[in-house]
Structure 1
Amino acid sequence: MTDQAQLHKQLLHTLTAGGSLRTEPWKRAAEAVPRHEFLRGGFFRRVEASAQLAYEPVLEGDAGWLEACYKDDSLITQIAGTIVPRDVRGQILREPTSSSTLPSLVLRMLEDLHVESDSKVLEIGTGTGYSTAVLCARLHEDNVTSIEYDEDVAGRARMALARQDMFPTIITGDGLLGYAESAPYDRTIATCGVRTVPAAWVEQTKPGGLILATIGGWLGSSELARLTVNDDGTATGPLLSGDISFMLARPHAAPPLGILPDLNKGKEREAVIGSDVLSDWATRFVVQLAAPNAQRLTMDRDGHTEDVLIDVKSSSWAAVYADGGRWIVRQDGPEALWDAVEAQLGRWHAAGTPALEEFTVTVTPDGQAISW
Structure 2
Amino acid sequence: MNDEELRTRLVERLTGSGHLLTEPWREAVSAVPRHEFLRGGFFREVDGSTPTAWTPVMPDDPRWPAACYDDVSLVTQVAGTVVPGDVRGEILRAPTSSSTMPGLVVRMLEDLQVDAGHRVLEIGTGTGYSTALMCHRLGDDAVTSVEVDEDVSTRARAALGHCGFAPDLIVGDGLAGYKDGAPYDRVIATCGLLTVPRELIEQTRPGGTMLVTLCGWLYSSELARLTVHEDGTASGRFLGGQISFMLARPHLPPPLGLLPDLDEGDERPAAFGADVLDDWNTRFVAQLAAPRAQYVTLTREGRAEHLFLDVGTGAWAVLREHDGRWTVRQDGPSRIWDAVEAHVARWRGAGAPPLEEFEITLTSEQPTITWPGR
Q: TM-score range by the shorter chain?
A: over 0.9
**Correspondence list, 1:355-370, <5 A:** 355-365=354-364, 367-370=366-369
| Correspondence for 1:295 | 294
| Correspondence for 2:335 | 336
User: Is 1:5 paired with 2:37?
Assistant: no
SS in 2 for 1:329: strand
Deviation at 1:303, TM superposition (A): 3.3
Cα RMSD of the aligned pairs, angstroms, is: 0.9
* Residue type at the aligned position of 1:18: S
Residue pair 1:54, 1:91 contacting (<8 A) in 2 also: yes
In structure 2, what is the Cα distance between the partners aligned to 1:119 and 1:336? 47
In structure 2, what is the Cα distance between the partners aligned to 1:322 and 1:51? 25
Residue pair 2:196, 2:365 contacting (<8 A) in 1 also: no
Residue pair 1:199, 1:363 contacting (<8 A) in 2 also: no
* Residue type at the aligned position of 1:281: W
In structure 1, what is the Cα distance between the partners aligned to 2:212 and 2:48? 35
Unaligned 5+ runs, structure 2:
none
Deviation track 1:299-347 (CA, whole Å, cap 9, x = no partner) reads 1123321111000001011011112131100111111100000010111
| Correspondence for 2:78 | 79
> Normalization by structure 1: what TM-score?
0.98
In structure 2, what is the Cα distance between the partners aligned to 1:273 and 1:366? 32
In structure 2, what is the Cα distance between the partners aligned to 1:103 and 1:366? 30
In structure 2, what is the Cα distance between the partners aligned to 1:116 and 1:361? 24
> Normalization by structure 2: what TM-score?
0.98
In structure 2, what is the Cα distance between the partners aligned to 1:237 and 1:280? 24
Unaligned 5+ runs, structure 1:
none
Deviation track 1:15-43 (CA, whole Å, cap 9, x = no partner) reads 00111100001111111101000000000
Deviation at 1:366, TM superposition (A): 6.0
In structure 1, what is the Cα distance between the partners aligned to 2:338 and 2:116? 50
SS in 2 for 1:367: coil
In structure 1, what is the Cα distance between the partners aligned to 2:80 and 2:366? 29
| Correspondence for 1:280 | 279
In structure 2, what is the Cα distance between the partners aligned to 1:69 and 1:270? 51
Runs of at least 4 residues off by over 6 Å: none
**Correspondence list, 1:44-123, <5 A:** 44-123=43-122
In structure 2, what is the Cα distance between the partners aligned to 1:139 and 1:34? 17
**Correspondence list, 1:162-241, <5 A:** 162-241=161-240
Deviation at 1:63, TM superposition (A): 2.2
In structure 1, what is the Cα distance between the partners aligned to 2:133 and 2:8? 15
In structure 2, what is the Cα distance between the partners aligned to 1:353 and 1:132? 37
In structure 2, what is the Cα distance between the partners aligned to 1:349 and 1:223? 19
Residue pair 2:184, 2:204 contacting (<8 A) in 1 also: yes
In structure 2, what is the Cα distance between the partners aligned to 1:259 and 1:12? 50
| Correspondence for 1:136 | 135
In structure 1, what is the Cα distance between the partners aligned to 2:365 and 2:161? 41
Deviation at 1:6, TM superposition (A): 1.5
Identity %, equivalent residues: 59
In structure 2, what is the Cα distance between the partners aligned to 1:71 and 1:153? 22
| Correspondence for 1:314 | 313
In structure 1, what is the Cα distance between the partners aligned to 2:323 and 2:221? 32
